Amino acid sequence: MSAEARQRQILEAVEAHKQVGLADLQRLTGASAATIRRDLQVLEEQRLVLRVHGGAIEIPGEPSVPEKSRTHVAEKMAIGRLAVSHIQDAEVVLLDAGTTTGAITRELTRFHQITVVTNAVNILVALLPFDSFEVIMLGGVLRPMNQAVMGSLTEDNLRHIRPDRAFMGAYGVNLESRSLVSPTLAQAYLKGAMMKAARHVYVVADHTKLEEPRYGFVTPLPDDATLLIDDRITARQQQRLEASGLAFCLAPTGPQGGGPPDAG
């Protein structure tokens, strides 16, 4: 096993369990204790894990799904309404993990026949009452922090699916590099695989995601990706969006959420 593959296994284990012991990592990878310690040093230098006595823990600071679900609710609902306006009945739709992608599920009752593919547990639960269309849950290792499955198995599942549209969540959007920002390398990898699998890619993000990104792992966006964002962006943010060349649509956050969206 290459060092890169081994370190990725270690990272997935830490993300799944939050804390993993050295002996567990040896059993997982088949590598020696000295090799695992070197791998952990590399991962710590990349700010992917924190080394502790006898193993490693997940880097703290990322908000949980319940915490995120209580913020910018009106903006997320508006973005959800805008997102479904891009969907047609009988399509295969991929919903990435996240609370903004979760807001899309509230608007899916208008469809009679649709297939939803997701890696998010919270989205799967929200879709349980929907018995008129098919739901495909991607396999993988559960990451409790964002209630999502991920890893090599998830990426392998995606090789067999060709969604018409993928709606991507975002911890941040870097306009200068036209990329999504993630807190872990594994999430950045998975977002890339999701976008590569889909015919059309949309990023769903409220206006705060255009602020200075907190995390350092990025996934470049396809040239034809479209950002769906609420209309509470500042004039400066809109100027930056227009300068980036990234296509975008503004989601009206008024009481009815009506009116045609602006586009750039």
**Domain containing 90 — which CATH number?**
3.40.50.1360
* Domain shared by 33 and 54, yes or no: yes
118 and 31: one domain? Answer: no
Find the angle CA(123)-CA(129)-CA(134) to the nearest 5 degrees: 70
**Percent of the chain predicted with pLDDT > 70:** 89
Backbone angles phi, psi at 173, to 5 degrees: -125, 115
Asked if residue 256 has pLDDT above 50, the reply is no
What are the residues facing 51 on neighbouring strands? 56
Which residue did the predictor score with more confidence, 263 or 115?
115
143/46 same-domain check: no
Q: 204-241 pLDDT, tens per residue?
A: 999 989 976 666 788 999 999 999 999 999 999 999 99
Instruction: Report residue 136 as tokens.
Output: 């495909």
Q: Decide if 24 is inside a domain.
A: yes
**AA letter at 91:** E
Range with the poorest average pLDDT among 50-54, 73-77, 128-132, 187-191: 50-54
C-beta separation of 165 from 91 below 8 A = yes
Q: What is the pLDDT of residue 241?
A: 95
Domain that holds residue 117: 66-251
DSSP the chain: --HHHHHHHHHHHHHHHSEEEHHHHHHHH---HHHHHHHHHHHHHTTSEEEETTEEEEPS-PPPHHHHHTSSHHHHHHHHHHHHTT--TT-EEEE-SSHHHHHHGGGGGG-SS-EEEE-BHHHHHHHTT--SSEEEEPPSEEEGGGTEEESHHHHHHHTT---SEEEE--SEEETTTTEEEESSHHHHHHHHHHHHH-SEEEEE--GGGGS--S--EEEEPPTT-EEEEETT--HHHHHHHHHHT-EEEEEP-SSS--SPPPB-
Structurally, the chain folds into a number of domains equal to 2
**Residues 37, 110 share a domain:** no
Task: Tell how far CA 12 is from the center of its chain.
Answer: 15
Average pLDDT, the chain: 89
Q: What CATH number did the domain enclosing 23 receive?
A: 1.10.10.10
Together in a domain, 85 and 18: no
How far CA 258 is from CA of 78, 154, 226, 262, in Å, comes to 9, 37, 20, 12
Q: Are residues 32 and 73 in the same domain?
A: no
Domain shared by 47 and 142, yes or no: no
Do 199 and 240 belong to one domain? yes
Reported confidence tier of residue 62, pLDDT bands at 50, 70, 90: low
- Residue finishing a domain among 58, 77, 105: 58
Is 41 inside a domain boundary? yes
> Do residues 49 and 125 both lie within one domain?
no
18-34: pLDDT as tens digits? 889 999 999 999 999 99
Q: What pTM, to 2 d.p., does this model score?
A: 0.74
Is residue 258 included in any domain, yes or no? no
